[in-house]
Structure 1
Amino acid sequence: MNNSGASMRHHKKPIISPLRYPGGKASLYTRLRAIVRANDLTAGTYVEPYAGGAGAALGLLVTGQVRRIVINDLDPAIYAFWKAVTSEPLAISRMVEKAELTVSEWSRQKDIYLNAPRDDYLNLGFATFFLNRTNRSGVLNGGPIGGMDQTGKYKIDARFNRSTLVERLRLISLHAKRISVTNTDGMTVIKRYSKRENTLIYADPPYFEKAGSLYLNSFEDAHHSSLAACLNSVSDAKWLLTYDNVPRVPELYPDRRREVFSLNYSAHRVTKANEIMVFSDALTVA
């Protein structure tokens, strides 16, 4: 195993996603771009079975590194957001422009998030977005920045820069025809796209540690084992996987190449954490 965390490059990356995600992987843009090029996939499809904020996917698409991207998330609220962004960009942009950044509005959006019909993509998607931008660390089951009494150092509007967010939505809308948004199990997506040529799959599932508090769909050990069985069975496809660097990962992927790297992590406070990247046999590692 190559244990050279210093080899993981963190150059300036495009920030396209409107969502805030703890441990989001937009910072891996440069490395992923190098892998795309090394595998001659610039005219291909990039797939994220556990997309979340989809920061890396959008960066690669908007800068022309790949032809198409697939954003999949099992959580119906996150799916609703991406569905609304790609199918009703003007409507959701207007909602961003007009949103009241108050605790009472936060409570109203929280109610929509919890109770809206799952197929009401626009309203559920906007409520998801509103909470993501106004909650501490972007965690949807958290409370508002500044607290309910707004006595904190930062207030509820601290991460809601309307003009910046509207511009990101506009930029995504320009590429919407090349974005596929799905709402299914990540392993189903892996199995589907592993059979296709000119495709790179990047799996970034819920992690072993702190998954319950940071992710909307946490994994039990059985899920991690099932995912490993799925990925190991398609080692002839082009895929890579990232996890927190725990002993369970080499146990699940003993025959795959692995590399430890460091990543800035921004839930509650900025820290630097070691993570691990796993590569399929068919992937040329750049």
Structure 2
Amino acid sequence: MKNQMTMFDLGEQSIGQAIINVASVPQRSPFRYPGGKTWLIPTVRQWLKQENKIAKELIEPFAGGGIVSLTAAFEKMAEQIIMVEKDEEIAAVWEVILNGKNKWLAEKIYSYDLTHANVKAELENPNKELQDIAFCTILKNRVFHGGILAKGSGMIKNGENGKGIASRWYPKTLRDRILAINYVKDKISFISGDAFQVLEENLDNKNAYFFIDPPYTIAGKRLYTHFDIDHENLFQLTAQLKGKFMLTYDDTPEIRQLTEKHNLQYRTIPMKTTLHFEKNEIIISDNFSWWADSNSR
């Protein structure tokens, strides 16, 4: 049985930890992703290097913006990487970048005339091929409030310094990030599919590292199309994994209870939201031998 952290121990782990400045982490993803894990990358690096060798395989069942997979690929922390995403719009982006018209998407973004009329026409076009869906997804991600793609989101009005929808539209940066992925895409396999199925198929995969970042219980409904997942089942599957894993969640009583119920180890780690609100998240792992002093101030 895996050692269980008590509530008291959990609280002790958060004392003195430093909040990571995301500006210090290389930005690899073309997404401005709500709930993204750029801030967690220094911790992910420690976790992936725990055996002092390159991981044979990294599996990211809820890929989203893909920052963990991309960082592992660029920084040579895993030999092979499997990204999985169920959301059809986000999956279209990764399909095109990794398996399709990568250069077409990059140049389309770079040359696009960003106006309200053009955006409206682009999004309302009923005859979209895969690359068009990918472009529209990046477009929405950059001109909608908070990068949120779920229903109910809408275009930025004022934005930063009155720039409106252009506030987060950086065509050269986006083009460069997409083209840069060409250098590492041979390491990455993409699955447009269900995270739970992939986890079930890899329960006995002892060589894999699983980075599991599901839609959170509180914010998921507002941020994601496929927010409604079976958290109990996810914990059950995670507890059965033979490989190494890191599972991330908001620090809530419900998640603490599930963690204790399944006899999993956990720690808390501080982070700052896009609105500069400080809060704790929970890191759940098969072991914490890799949890170094550098996680503290």
| TM-score between the two structures when normalised by the length of structure 2 | 0.85
Q: Is structure 2 residue 34 aligned with structure 1 residue 25?
A: no
CA–CA separation in structure 2 for the residues paired with 1:182 and 1:48: 10
Q: Is structure 2 residue 243 aligned with structure 1 residue 231?
A: no
Taking structure 1 as reference, are residues 65 and 48 closer, same or farther at Cα in structure 2, changes over 3 Å only? same
Contact between 2:20 and 2:39, CA under 8 Å: does it hold in 1? yes
Contact between 2:17 and 2:270, CA under 8 Å: does it hold in 1? no
Q: Is structure 2 residue 290 aligned with structure 1 residue 285?
A: yes
| Aligned-partner residue type, residue 222 of structure 2 | S
Q: 1:92 aligns with which of 105, 117, 121?
A: 105
Runs of 4+ in 1 over 6 A off after TM superposition: none
Identity %: 23
Taking structure 1 as reference, are residues 46 and 151 closer, same or farther at Cα in structure 2, changes over 3 Å only? closer
CA–CA separation in structure 2 for the residues paired with 1:8 and 1:259: 14
Shift of 1:97: 1.3
| Aligned-partner residue type, residue 167 of structure 1 | D
Q: 1:10 aligns with which of 1, 20, 25?
A: 20
- Structure 1, unmatched stretches of 5+, are none
- After superposition, what is the alpha-carbon deviation per residue over 1:81-135, rounded to whole angstroms, capped at 9, x for unaligned? 00101122111111111212111122123225xx556xx3211111101110111
Shift of 1:41: 5.0
Taking structure 1 as reference, are residues 169 and 192 closer, same or farther at Cα in structure 2, changes over 3 Å only? same
Aligned to 2:166: 157
Contact between 1:9 and 1:31, CA under 8 Å: does it hold in 2? no
2:281 aligned counterpart, secondary structure: strand
Q: 2:120 aligns with which of 104, 107, 112?
A: 107
Aligned to 1:256: 264
| Aligned-partner residue type, residue 286 of structure 2 | S
Q: Is structure 2 residue 178 aligned with structure 1 residue 172?
A: no
Aligned to 1:206: 215
Taking structure 1 as reference, are residues 201 and 116 closer, same or farther at Cα in structure 2, changes over 3 Å only? farther
Q: Is structure 2 residue 71 aligned with structure 1 residue 59?
A: yes
Shift of 1:57: 1.7
Contact between 2:160 and 2:167, CA under 8 Å: does it hold in 1? no
Q: 1:145 aligns with which of 139, 147, 156?
A: 156
Contact between 1:45 and 1:200, CA under 8 Å: does it hold in 2? yes
Aligned to 2:48: 36
| Aligned-partner residue type, residue 10 of structure 1 | I
CA–CA separation in structure 2 for the residues paired with 1:71 and 1:41: 21
Which stretch shifts more, 74-83 or 152-161?
Answer: 152-161
| TM-score between the two structures when normalised by the length of structure 1 | 0.88
Taking structure 1 as reference, are residues 16 and 151 closer, same or farther at Cα in structure 2, changes over 3 Å only? closer
Q: Is structure 2 residue 271 aligned with structure 1 residue 270?
A: no
Contact between 1:260 and 1:275, CA under 8 Å: does it hold in 2? yes
CA–CA separation in structure 2 for the residues paired with 1:263 and 1:116: 41
Q: Is structure 2 residue 252 aligned with structure 1 residue 246?
A: yes
CA–CA separation in structure 2 for the residues paired with 1:86 and 1:230: 28
Matched residues, number:
274
2:164 aligned counterpart, secondary structure: coil
CA–CA separation in structure 1 for the residues paired with 2:124 and 2:82: 29
- After superposition, what is the alpha-carbon deviation per residue over 1:30-56, rounded to whole angstroms, capped at 9, x for unaligned? 111111111345142211111110112
Shift of 1:79: 0.5
CA–CA separation in structure 2 for the residues paired with 1:177 and 1:225: 35
CA–CA separation in structure 2 for the residues paired with 1:224 and 1:245: 14
CA–CA separation in structure 1 for the residues paired with 2:38 and 2:80: 17
Aligned to 1:126: 135
- After superposition, what is the alpha-carbon deviation per residue over 1:241-276, rounded to whole angstroms, capped at 9, x for unaligned? 00111111122121111111112222xx33222111
Shift of 1:211: 1.2
